[in-house]
Chains A and B, each alone.
With several copies, the nearest count.
Chain A
Amino acid sequence: ANGQQDKPVRELPPGPAYDSAIQPADSGQVSPIQKSETPIRIAVLGLENNPFWIPVREGAIAAGKELADYNATIDWIVPVGDSHTADVFGSAIDAAIAQEYDAIATIAGDSGIIPYVERAVAAGIPVATFNVETDEPSSRLFFVGADLYRQGLAAGKAVADHYKSKGISNPKIAVMTGFFSVEGHELRRKGFEESLMKEIPGAVIVGRVETLDKDDNGYQLASDFIVSNPDLNGFYSAAGGSVGCAKAVEDNKLGGKVDVFCYDFMDQVMEYVKKGVIVGTIGQQPFAQGHDPAVRLFNYLVAGEVPEAGRMLTQSDFVTKENMSQFGDW
């Protein structure tokens, strides 16, 4: 009864296997195939609440410029509310359906978005997810982004390798997450802890706290950990607050002794990477996350081209002082 469309429902080829995953070679560089006869409108539902999204939005806008010549427009829409919760993005999807977009790309921060995705697909609007999506399957066509759990595993492996190379067999690590109540943060933490323990069974986790994604909390909690664990070896920061954490390490003149591991390539993070306070940060090709969903959706609409796999994973590059120049000029 809901989501009735005035336009006829488009005939579309079936999507790829849901759980199949690859890291595509053309990640971030996928290009449109052919011009569309009728104008095509694609909504990209993103966020702007922190600097992580800068390159994502750049990607979406770049896609818009490329597709302009192919008779398509890309609208970058930020739903109200600072978070990627289902109620925020769900209502944005509903609104996009009501506005008769031809395709929707959305962040799928928690599984609550699934019913909205189903509604869109039922209305003949293909949906791509990007940045995050949860384990729970939906009828979305494909996903572009990092697998958070795998990102956690990667971090655990990288941290373990780091301490092995330093000859420390029982590193003491403090774990900071954004929110205990955000599933994505918990997935990263889970992956990290599992793989760390597997790689270095002697590792000790001296505490798990939440920063509420804020740097001042990161600073405070890191200071507290430093005081109460004089033999601390490192911090793992699963979400926001990494910069505050690194600043606390720096202020206590523990750079090189207490190592910080975190995610993403914000300016401030990269500064600490340069200084060696942040030993490594794990990226996820944010530009591709903004760019690829729109272009791949367009190709699907005009040429019926189906992505190779359900999960088009971006690369979880482990960026350190040594290799950082390959990933941008910081």
Chain B
Amino acid sequence: MVSENAYVETEKITILSRIKNTTLPGESGVFAALMVMCIIMSIASPYFLKTVNIFNIMRNMSTIGIMAIGMTMIIVTGGIDLSVGSQMAVAGMIMARMLQNGFPIVPSLIIGFGMGLLTGFFNGFMISRLKVTPFIVTLGMLSIARGMTVFFATGTKGVGVASNITVKDPFVNFVGGGYIGPIPFPVIIMFVLVFIFSYFLKNTVLGRQIYAIGSNEEAARLTGVNVDRVKVLTYTFMGFLCALSGIISAGLLSTAATNIGTGTELDVVAAVVIGGASLSGGRGSIAGSIIGAAIMAVLRNSFVLLKMPGYMQTISIGAIIILAVTIDTLRQRKQ
């Protein structure tokens, strides 16, 4: 028998660890990192805490944040999507081209989202049915969708040359660049999606199945999870979010640019991993990923506010990403 005393002690410890657990297990570390950065910045620059600046930061992270929602799910299943930037570009571009060619807004939007769903579905299909490794499928799609973006942008101004397409549709411009009160509309979209899908991941069967697949794919299958179907769904959903981001970006900038989203895949994956997800699957949360995206957005903003020389920005963005995750890793190991 364990002595009474020991019981009491155990109880104390578990309550402590329970508190830790309920308040964002993986996320609290990076959240602290974000807070530290914000505090430092608000001391270093009088402009940092201005409402405009805060909302600017949020708007600047909104497309990355929206895509990070889907990327979190994909990474939790143990996959990866390197094609998000290109998917975003091609969806925005095809919508813009439709509008430019005189189609009304609704069919243009349908085709734009349809393109995202299609590229996402293609990724999911190749990965789940043909069992091609996600890295390769989506790396290929990174190229394919970019090529398609250029294709759709070609010929609008002279033969054989791609050019950005101006987007002047009031609805699209509002979605990307509008405000509700002082809050930029894309920020509202992002937060709504974050809440819905955080709830979804925690409280629905499908959400739990996503974690099961990432934790042990074979065990999930033997537990009755239709692994292929769930994977197709997550990649297709990712495509949808990319299309949304592409449309937001086209609305905000009033332009569908051929090079929008280049390199974004690393930003989105970084946000998710900084937020505590494991690339081998089974671990990650949308809240964490949004914090990760926020860290990078604050960093970018502060470089401009602090007028840092170019190479120092590049060095410090790398150093701070490593630092944030290192502190978090050490903290988790201690527990």
Contacts and interface: CB of A to CB of B under 8 A. Distances in A.
Interface of A: 1-4, 47-51, 53-54, 57-58, 61, 75, 77-83, 85-87, 90-92, 94-100, 110-115, 134, 136, 177, 179-183, 186-187, 189-190, 194, 206-210, 212-216, 219-221, 223-225, 227-228, 240, 243-244, 247, 251, 266-268, 271
A156 to B, nearest CB: 13
Interface of B: 45, 47, 50, 52-53, 55-56, 59-60, 63, 89, 146, 149-150, 157-164, 166, 177, 179, 181-182, 184, 249, 252-255, 257-260, 262-263, 299-301, 303-305, 307, 309-311, 313-314, 317
A221 B304 CA distance: 7
B253 A210 contact: no
Given A180-B310, A208-B309, A209-B304, A214 B52 contact: no
B174 to A, nearest CB: 12
A265 B4 CA distance: 82
Nearest to A136: B166
A80 B255 contact: no
A92 B304 contact: yes
Contact of B317 (A4, A80, A206): A80
Contacts of B52: 2-4, 94, 97-98, 227
Contacts of A100: 47
A260 B177 CA distance: 20
Given A2-B52, A99-B305, A209-B304, A180 B258 contact: yes
B161 A182 contact: no
A215 B258 contact: no
B116 to A, nearest CB: 17
6 contacts: A95-B56, A112-B254, A181-B150, A181-B259, A215-B257, A227-B52
A227 B255 CA distance: 23
A117 B163 CA distance: 21
Contacts of A78: 309-310, 313
Contact of B162 (A86, A97, A98, A181): A181
B51 to A, nearest CB: 8
B253 A98 contact: no
Given A77-B304, A111-B164, A112-B253, A1 B182 contact: yes
CB-based closest 10 A-B pairs: A112-B253, A51-B163, A224-B304, A181-B258, A48-B310, A181-B259, A95-B304, A228-B47, A180-B310, A78-B310
A190 B158 contact: yes
Contact of A114 (B255, B300, B305, B309): B255
A181 B161 contact: no
Given A115-B177, A223-B56, A95 B166 contact: no
A216 B161 contact: no
Contacts of A268: 164, 166, 254-255
Given A51-B163, A98-B47, A228-B53, A215 B304 contact: no
A180 B177 CA distance: 27
Nearest to A56: B161
B313 A80 contact: yes
Contacts of B45: 99, 228
